[in-house]
Amino acid sequence: MKTAILLLGHGSPSKEANESLERTAAMVKLAGGYDLVKAAFMEFGKPDIQTGARLCIESGAEKIVFMPYFLYMGAHVSKDLPAEMEEAKKKYPNVRMIMTDPLGEDPKLAEIAVKRISKAVTGQQSSVSRNFRPDGIEKESFRIIDEALRGYNIGELEYPVVRRIVHTTTDFEYAASMRFSKGAVQAGVDALKKGCSIVTDVDMVKSGILQSYRNTLGIEVFCHISDEGVIKEAKEKGVTRATIAMRKGKERINGGIVAIGNAPTALYELIRLSKEEGIRPALVVGMPVGFVGAADSKEALAVGDLNYITNKGTKGGSTIAAAAVNALMILADEEKSRLMATK
């Protein structure tokens, strides 16, 4: 079922204000890996909500999720927007339509507010920024992490990967839940030193892999999840786009690194490609997230014969997979630099 997300804003006479919601819609599409995300407006902006719903349906949507991009449950959210959705339902009775809660109260919004306030009051981003230079902040963060990780039994080669994941997430649970096959880290580093390809399951993983180290090591990163042919084939075969994306990337996967941070189906397909078609990546960073399939797919990876970096349980995500790859790229760059220095 093709799902469209309709991001609902109030609308403004200011063109720039309306374009801001359109940019947000693009970011939501990228972050969520959704088929289709559009912005629509109650007034002033175009398209209006009814037109937005129609455009979604004309693009093949069989389900529309209306997302009020409003802070609170005021009259617009409690009355006006539900009325708009009911009107759309009458026009398109065969299309399923649901509405989410508004942005509402969320700790992340509070964090954004603190940043804005701090910048206005002090001209700086935070109290930490007043006390440390940017490089000092990272240095102090890693000092805190190193102190906390002393009680964990982590191998010398694996430590930089775990350290960077904890730094990225501020979650020390990863120190206990990370799993590495024997020689996995070195296998990944060796492949990166040779300039191997990296294939990711979603664009968010690709975006999180540091461009500076891609350039230094001559690495190309590929993600096929949004390719038109992948979308079409997945729909025709009734499977996930992540599954077809892995199939499309299999030539680059052979001898390369695969970083999966979202879709368990991508990991299952990669395991199948290895068993049935002989596709052998140098390393699999398998960190899919979620309550359905994530833990089981990681377990299937761990009991197989591929080099892997993964973790136990439902946790994971694009930022975690990217952090692991970044740690490997840093190690590869350091090894190349040491080798150059000895010549």
Per-residue pLDDT tens digits for 162-177: 999 999 888 888 999 9
Q: What is the DSSP string of 99-154?
A: E---S-S-HHHHHHHHHHHHHHHHSSS-HHHHHS-HHHHHHHHHHHHHHHGGGS--
Burial of 277 (C-beta count, 10 Å sphere; 0-12/13-18/19+): exposed
Banded pLDDT at 338 (limits 50, 70, 90)? confident
The residue that leads in pLDDT, 93 or 339, is: 93
Segment 90-149, tens digit of pLDDT: 999 999 999 998 887 776 777 777 777 766 765 554 444 445 555 667 788 888 888 888
What is the pLDDT, as a whole number, of residue 126? 47
Q: Is the pLDDT of residue 32 over 80?
A: no
What is the pLDDT, as a whole number, of residue 206? 93
Instruction: Classify 152-342 by CATH class.
Output: alpha beta
Candidates 3.40.190.10, 3.40.50.1400, 3.90.1300.10, 3.40.50.2300; correct CATH number of 3-99? 3.40.50.1400
What is the pLDDT, as a whole number, of residue 118? 67
pTM, rounded to two decimals = 0.62
Measured from the Cβ of residue 21, the count of other Cβ atoms closer than 10 Å reads 20
What is the pLDDT, as a whole number, of residue 127? 47
Q: Which helix H or strand E contains 5, and what residues bound it?
A: strand 3-9
What is the pLDDT, as a whole number, of residue 343? 66
Q: How far is 302 from 324, CA to CA, in rounded Å?
A: 16
What is the pLDDT, as a whole number, of residue 2? 86
The segment(s) of the chain belonging to CATH 3.40.50.10230 are 152-342
Query: In 3D, which of 43, 42, 45 has the Cα closest to residue 16?
Result: 45
Residues in the chain: 343
Which residues lie across from 311 on neighbouring strands? 178
CA distances to 8, 33, 61, 204 from 69, rounded to whole Å, are 5, 19, 20, 22
Lookup: tokens for 232: 């079409």
The segment(s) of the chain belonging to CATH 3.40.50.1400 are 3-99
> Across residues 187-204, what is the average pLDDT?
95
CB 304 within 8 A of CB 165: no
- According to DSSP, residue 68 is labeled E
Q: Is the pLDDT of residue 280 over 60?
A: yes
Q: Taking the chain, what is the end-to-end CA distance rounded to the nearest angstrom?
A: 58
Catalytic residues: 167
What is the pLDDT, as a whole number, of residue 142? 85
